[in-house]
Structure 1
Amino acid sequence: MIFGRIKSVDAILATAERKSLHRTLGAFQLTLFGIGCVIGTGIFVLTAAGAQKAGPGLMLAFAIAGAICIVAALCYAEIASMMPVAGSAYTYTYSVMGELLAWTVGWALILEYAVAASAVAVGWSGYFTGTILNQFLGIHLPAALSSAPLALGGAPGGIINLPAVIISLLITWLLMIGTTESARVNAVLVLIKVTALTAFIVLTLPSDQFSTANFNPFLPAGLFGGFGSGVGAVGAAATIFFAYVGFDAVSTAAEETKNPQRNVPIGLIGSLLFCTVFYILVAAGAVGTIGGQPIMGPGGIPFPAGSEELARQCAMAEYSQMLVCSNEALAHVLRAIGFGTVGNLLGIAAFIALPSVILILLFGQTRIFFVMSRDGLLPDGLSKIHPKWKTPYIVTALTGGAVAFAAAFLPVGKLADIANAGTLYAFMMVAIAVMMLRKTEAARIRSFKTPMLWLVGPATILGCVFLFFNLPFEAMIVLPVWGAVGLVIYYLYGYRNSHMGRGIEEVNEASLSELEPKVPGTE
């Protein structure tokens, strides 16, 4: 029985239980860590795409996405406290629902991390071309070299997003040779991001150009845009869900937290609430100063974000300066209200901070690939470690090439939607796993237990399904197509070569700790 191939929690924990983790983290430290993990790509890059879907209702969209993340985070916290090991949702699913479903989760995570890295690369490209090249160096990179083709949602005249390709390949190279990103550097980058967004809020909300008239109508596309439309406040929430990904890194710190029953939920909910309020204020500042109404198409429905139709409209002089048309939304807003220098500094902050996000996403993707290969579900060659660099260089190179290709030819909004599809599926499976483990492993020690799991678990599942069906149809269809390809690979290779299927139950999670780079989790 395929569903009978369950990797026992005891086997998964065998190595982890030999380690003694020192509990040093308090609620405040966890909250700060969570803020650093969450604030990143989404708010810098997806504000324009979100406004095109929801208009001023973008603020409501951030609240909806944040609420679903909070219940998902509580589920992650319990299961991570039980199994503080590598593999994320893939390993969790393997422990309770079996190999086949674990494969589908791992395969979805591969899609999530790789596509998310592509989205960040495209977002970085917008700040690089808009701030570094245009504003500081006076160089105007032609659309042919800075945008995806028009037919795929890029700008008129676009052929390839060359800066996105270059940064993707550069980060891939750094990962292959084993460059380590220290916690101190990471902390500096977090400080840069938070300072930049705080400056944006301080300069926009009290601005003389801030007008409540810009919020009318608040929901120009309605609350629900309809199945597969990807518009409306809920459609925008499904896209900007990307802005919250990374919070699960907080849950992995449960084993090193003092009084985890109290401090883990404070850290999780506190950081997510802070980021949600932060995001809403940023959205309010952007919309209130220069307006955030979408560009409407036939029938009063917004043109899809990242579509050829929207790109044509944004190329017209009357729309080119709108928030929804900017590739560097927050810097654009500050320039438009007379704070050009600060806007450029914010662009520099994004330019500096976003490459670390690409690095961490690529690192996470290769780690999932590595664990699946080590379990025999993918060829052993993919988990081959370079003798000098001590990195899984083959899978890193393959992943980096795929990330660069997607970044070259797709706009950021479409990439974020595709990444979210995989993320939502993984989060849903974690919620199911937590509820099942309450039954199958009731006696297992948990340093953190999700409060009111009878409510939080189903709420996570329903919330993830709800957002998934409010993604654009083309993003929804990618996940089952990708999953079908994965199932073919599984039955042709993984099913026959699985270590569990062959009676080999290796537990060497510690081997991952020997890999470089040792990158702290963040989004």
Structure 2
Amino acid sequence: MIFGRVKPLEAILATAEKKSLHRTLGWFQLTLFGIGCVIGTGIFALTAAGAQKAGPGLMLAFAIAGAICIVAALCYAEVAAMIPVAGSAYTYSYAALGEFLAWTVGWALVLEYAVAASAVCVTWSDYFQGTFLREFFGVSLPTWLSAGPLALGGSPGGLINLPAVFIAGLITTLLIIGTSESAKLNAILVAIKVTALTAFIVLTLPSEQFSTANFNPFLPAGIFGGLGTGVGAVGAAATIFFAYVGFDAVSTAAEETKNPQRNVPIGLIGSLLFCTVFYIVVAAGAIGTIGGEPIMGPNGVPFPTGSEELARQCALPQYAEALVCSKEALAHVLRTIGFSAIGNMLGVAAFIALPSVILVLMFGQTRIFFVMSRDGLLPEVLSRVHPKWKTPYVVTAMTGVAVAIGAAFFPVGQLADWANAGTLFAFMMVAICVMILRRTQPNTPRSFRTPLLWLVGPATIAGCIFLFLNLPWQAILVFVVWATLGFIAYFAYGRHVSHLGRGIVDSHESGSVAVDPPVPGTR
């Protein structure tokens, strides 16, 4: 049967032991990995896009997205501590739901991590060009080298985003060199980002320009703008959800973590709680000082972010200082309220530190492919580990190429929405996995148990579906097309060559052993 291939939990753990990655990470490094990935494009760039969708209700959007992520993190924490191997939601689904659904989750995670990494590369390019080159050196790259083409949603006259391609290549090289080295650099970059955002809070909240009048009306586009419209507080939450993408990357590092049963839950929940509070306070500082009202269309609905109509409005003098028109939202706020030098420094901090987000996203992507290859669902060459650096270098290089292509040609808003679609699907499946494993594996040791699972699990599923349906219809369509390609790939290749399908299951006692294969006609 199509849903009958469930990989035994013992076999998953044995497979990881047989061909494992080196354990070097502690709870502090994992928490920094989570913070390093979460604090990035969502707060440095998508603040403007969120404000265009929800106005001051951006704060509520952060709270909605954060609440859904918190319940999802509680589900992740239990199953990650129970199954401390690489693969994240893909591995958990293999143990609970079977091979086919595990494949769909792994395929969705490609959309999450790789596309999200491309989006952050584009944001890094914006800060690099806007703050580093233009503000400090007075240099502007020609449009054809600094943005993707308009035909793909980019800028007029754009051909390729060369700085975004450069940073994708640099991070790929770093990841091939090694996990421990990557974690050390990540810790430095996290410190830079947290310092920059703390300075932003200190300068905006007590500022003379801060006024509660800027929060009125709080919800100019309403709470719920309608399915597929992507506006209102809920529509903004569906986009801002990207600001939280990456905390689950902590679970992909479980196999490289010392004492994962203890450290993975700490890394997941700790990083998420820290970032949620930070986001809401930063959004309050930005809106309270310069306002965050969206630019409305003739029908009383905000112009779509990234649209030609919004671009024309932002070119008008009256919107020159509008938050919703800035590509460097937080740096722009500080410049507007009289802290130009510090605003420029924040822009520098963003362009220096955003690579940490790209690093963690690509790290997560390569570990998903590594485990799928180790299970035989993808070619074996993808799980090759470098003899010197002990990293999956083949799949890391391939991922780097894919990330560079996405960053070269597409704008950040589109990429973020596409990544959100894959993320929401994966989060939903993890919640389902936890509830199923409670019934099918009740005696398996769990160093962390999700509290009130009867409530948390369904809340995670409902929240993910709700946000998914509030993404722009184009993002939903991309997910459907991507999932269809995944089905074709699985039935054309993966299903026929997977180890479990061929009756090869690892065990602790005797390594790989052959078991009775599935009955013909049920593979």
> Please, what TM-score do these two structures have when normalized by structure 1?
0.89
The alpha-carbon deviation at position 456 of structure 1 amounts to 0.4
Question: Residue in 2 aligned with 1:161?
Answer: 161
Question: Residue in 2 aligned with 1:291?
Answer: 291
The alpha-carbon deviation at position 308 of structure 1 amounts to 2.8
SS of the aligned residue for 1:318 comes to helix
Matches within 5 A, 1:116-515: 116-178=116-178, 181-248=181-248, 269=269, 271-385=271-385, 390-506=390-506
The alpha-carbon deviation at position 361 of structure 1 amounts to 1.3
The alpha-carbon deviation at position 458 of structure 1 amounts to 0.2
Report the AA paired with residue 443 of structure 2.
A
Question: Residue in 2 aligned with 1:58?
Answer: 58
The alpha-carbon deviation at position 93 of structure 1 amounts to 0.2
Range 244-253 or range 283-292, more displaced: 244-253
In structure 2, how many angstroms separate the alpha carbons of the residues matched to 1:175 and 1:495?
30
In structure 1, how many angstroms separate the alpha carbons of the residues matched to 2:182 and 2:493?
38
In structure 2, how many angstroms separate the alpha carbons of the residues matched to 1:246 and 1:358?
10
The alpha-carbon deviation at position 475 of structure 1 amounts to 0.7
Task: After superposition, give the CA deviation of every residue in 1:194-215 in whole Å (9 maximum; x if it has no partner).
Answer: 1100100111111111222222
In structure 1, how many angstroms separate the alpha carbons of the residues matched to 2:353 and 2:337?
24
The alpha-carbon deviation at position 402 of structure 1 amounts to 1.9
Are the equivalent residues in 2 in contact too, given 1:155–1:311 (CA < 8 A)?
Answer: no
Are the equivalent residues in 2 in contact too, given 1:162–1:408 (CA < 8 A)?
Answer: yes
The alpha-carbon deviation at position 399 of structure 1 amounts to 2.1
Task: After superposition, give the CA deviation of every residue in 1:400-429 in whole Å (9 maximum; x if it has no partner).
Answer: 222112112211111111111101101100
In structure 2, how many angstroms separate the alpha carbons of the residues matched to 1:230 and 1:504?
46
* Cα gap change, 1:362 to 1:32, in 2 (>3 Å): closer
Report the AA paired with residue 413 of structure 1.
G
Report the AA paired with residue 81 of structure 2.
S
The alpha-carbon deviation at position 151 of structure 1 amounts to 4.1
Task: After superposition, give the CA deviation of every residue in 1:5-46 in whole Å (9 maximum; x if it has no partner).
Answer: 111011112366899x99x988x9987775455323321121
In structure 2, how many angstroms separate the alpha carbons of the residues matched to 1:386 and 1:267?
27
Question: Residue in 2 aligned with 1:79?
Answer: 79
Matches within 5 A, 1:105-124: 105-124=105-124
Are the equivalent residues in 2 in contact too, given 1:108–1:425 (CA < 8 A)?
Answer: yes
Q: What is the RMSD of the two structures over their aligned residues, measured on CA atoms?
A: 2.9
Range 233-242 or range 248-257, more displaced: 248-257
* Cα gap change, 1:468 to 1:385, in 2 (>3 Å): same
Task: After superposition, give the CA deviation of every residue in 1:298-332 in whole Å (9 maximum; x if it has no partner).
Answer: 31111111223222332333324321121111111
Query: Among the aligned pairs, what percent are the same residue?
Result: 75
Range 169-178 or range 434-443, more displaced: 169-178
Task: After superposition, give the CA deviation of every residue in 1:126-166 in whole Å (9 maximum; x if it has no partner).
Answer: 11001100111110223332222334433333332221122
Are the equivalent residues in 1 in contact too, given 2:40–2:120 (CA < 8 A)?
Answer: no
In structure 1, how many angstroms separate the alpha carbons of the residues matched to 2:277 and 2:450?
24
Range 429-438 or range 391-400, more displaced: 391-400
Report the AA paired with residue 346 of structure 1.
L
In structure 2, how many angstroms separate the alpha carbons of the residues matched to 1:32 and 1:210?
31
Task: After superposition, give the CA deviation of every residue in 1:90-130 in whole Å (9 maximum; x if it has no partner).
Answer: 00000011110000000011111110000100110111001
In structure 2, how many angstroms separate the alpha carbons of the residues matched to 1:30 and 1:338?
37
Range 264-273 or range 461-470, more displaced: 264-273
Task: After superposition, give the CA deviation of every residue in 1:213-242 in whole Å (9 maximum; x if it has no partner).
Answer: 222221111111111011111111111111
In structure 2, how many angstroms separate the alpha carbons of the residues matched to 1:320 and 1:206?
24
Are the equivalent residues in 2 in contact too, given 1:154–1:311 (CA < 8 A)?
Answer: no
Name the count of aligned residue pairs. Answer: 504
Are the equivalent residues in 1 in contact too, given 2:221–2:302 (CA < 8 A)?
Answer: yes
Runs of 5+ in structure 1 lacking a partner?
509-523
The alpha-carbon deviation at position 179 of structure 1 amounts to 7.6
* Cα gap change, 1:264 to 1:384, in 2 (>3 Å): closer
Are the equivalent residues in 1 in contact too, given 2:80–2:261 (CA < 8 A)?
Answer: no
Report the AA paired with residue 323 of structure 1.
L
In structure 1, how many angstroms separate the alpha carbons of the residues matched to 2:165 and 2:303?
27
In structure 2, how many angstroms separate the alpha carbons of the residues matched to 1:33 and 1:112?
17
Are the equivalent residues in 2 in contact too, given 1:150–1:311 (CA < 8 A)?
Answer: no
Are the equivalent residues in 1 in contact too, given 2:80–2:265 (CA < 8 A)?
Answer: no
The alpha-carbon deviation at position 267 of structure 1 amounts to 6.7
Question: Residue in 2 aligned with 1:512?
Answer: none
* Cα gap change, 1:468 to 1:259, in 2 (>3 Å): closer
In structure 1, how many angstroms separate the alpha carbons of the residues matched to 2:398 and 2:206?
48
Runs of 5+ in structure 2 lacking a partner?
509-523
In structure 1, how many angstroms separate the alpha carbons of the residues matched to 2:264 and 2:369?
28
In structure 2, how many angstroms separate the alpha carbons of the residues matched to 1:178 and 1:275?
26
Range 233-242 or range 375-384, more displaced: 375-384
The alpha-carbon deviation at position 372 of structure 1 amounts to 1.1
> Please, what TM-score do these two structures have when normalized by structure 2?
0.89
Are the equivalent residues in 1 in contact too, given 2:37–2:360 (CA < 8 A)?
Answer: no
In structure 2, how many angstroms separate the alpha carbons of the residues matched to 1:31 and 1:366?
19
* Cα gap change, 1:267 to 1:146, in 2 (>3 Å): closer
Range 243-252 or range 352-361, more displaced: 243-252
In structure 2, how many angstroms separate the alpha carbons of the residues matched to 1:342 and 1:447?
45
Task: After superposition, give the CA deviation of every residue in 1:456-509 in whole Å (9 maximum; x if it has no partner).
Answer: 00000001111111111111111111010011111111111111111112479x
Task: After superposition, give the CA deviation of every residue in 1:39-59 in whole Å (9 maximum; x if it has no partner).
Answer: 233211211111111111100
* Cα gap change, 1:445 to 1:377, in 2 (>3 Å): same
SS of the aligned residue for 1:300 comes to coil
